[in-house]
Structure 1
Amino acid sequence: MRGLYMNSGKMKLALRILMGLFLVYAGLGHLTWLRTEFLAQVPKWQPFDPDFVVVASGVVEILLGLGFLLLTRYKAQVGVAGALFFIAIFPGNINQYVYQIDAFGLNTDTARLIRLFFQPVLVVWALWCTGGWDYLKAQWRRRVT
């Protein structure tokens, strides 16, 4: 059983690094070569300039990605912040589906619908690979007792 636990730790580390690299890459894409694609996801109902939303979310993604990679002492808090970020941007995915917007190669309703189911995976991934679940449970216990 000890070997399984050690492998779990290595798996969490690898997935945390992968998440960090993914976020930095996506954030840089927001600011450069993927900007038009990300503009397509900005919900039509939100009150801010869509370009501002893309740039701001890109900066947040870069900072979160660096947090996943570098802030090992605060990795649980970074994981919670990452999960909240993925929840916050979910309306963009819904917007893309509802308004049938083609972006990121998602050019059918089926493809856009399937993508909606991957956002919760990102939330769970962010929490699991950082110990965010345990951190949230501990915070909950402190408030209840």
Structure 2
Amino acid sequence: MSSAAGPMAGLRAAARWALVVLLAAAGASHLSWGRRGYRIVVPDWSTRLTGLSKDAIVVGSGVAELMLAGAVASMPRERSVGWLVAAFFVAVFPGNVHQWRTGRSAPMLRTDRARFVRLLLQPLLVAWALWSTR
């Protein structure tokens, strides 16, 4: 391994573990203290489209985040895991847009500025998932 690969490999590993922590914390919040707040921002169209209640969507996304955290932790260099995480981040983006457009508060997103910044961070989350798992 070249000297340049060593630091980059270490940086990728740190980024993967940070992604695991982020996904696990988000999943836990969807299943516990933040569950009620997240239901507020689920778009009405998503319940019609899926036939699920807002609570079921919040719980499902929390379970998905925990499963993705486990997958990244247990298969750190599996590219398909990175693609699954990236796809999840893309799939929840319409809900983030809905939250910003309606001005609804959720845990840690109580201002229009915070909700807008959250939108800008979404592409970075996608890139982070793909980069850290390759």
Superposed CA RMSD in Å reads: 1.6
Q: Name which of 47, 64, 75 aligns with 2:68.
A: 64
Distance 1:126 1:26 in 2: 15
Could you tell me which residue of structure 1 aligns to residue 59 of structure 2? Answer: 55
The yes-or-no answer on 1:88 pairing with 2:91 is yes
The yes-or-no answer on 1:108 pairing with 2:100 is no
Q: How many residues are aligned here?
A: 130
Following TM superposition, the consecutive aligned residue runs of length 4 or more in structure 1 with deviations greater than 4 angstroms are none
Q: Deviations over 1:32-60 (max 9, x none)?
A: 11102221221121123100000111111
Query: Displacement of 1:96 after TM fit?
Result: 0.5
Identity %: 38
The structure whose RCO (Cα within 8 Å, separation 6+) is larger is 2
Code of the aligned partner of 2:87 = L
CA pair 129-108 structure 1, distance change in 2 beyond 3 A: same
Distance 1:89 1:23 in 2: 13
Name which one, 1 or 2, has greater alpha-carbon Rg: 1
What is the TM-score with the length of structure 2 in the denominator? 0.90
Could you tell me which residue of structure 1 aligns to residue 40 of structure 2? Answer: 40
- Please list every run of 5 or more consecutive structure 2 residues that lacks an aligned counterpart in the other structure: none
Moved more, 47-56 or 101-110: 101-110
Q: What is the SS of the residue equivalent to 2:4?
A: helix
The yes-or-no answer on 1:23 pairing with 2:23 is yes
Query: Displacement of 1:127 after TM fit?
Result: 0.1
Could you tell me which residue of structure 2 aligns to residue 139 of structure 1? Answer: none
Distance 1:105 1:78 in 2: 27
What is the TM-score with the length of structure 1 in the denominator? 0.83
Code of the aligned partner of 1:9 = A
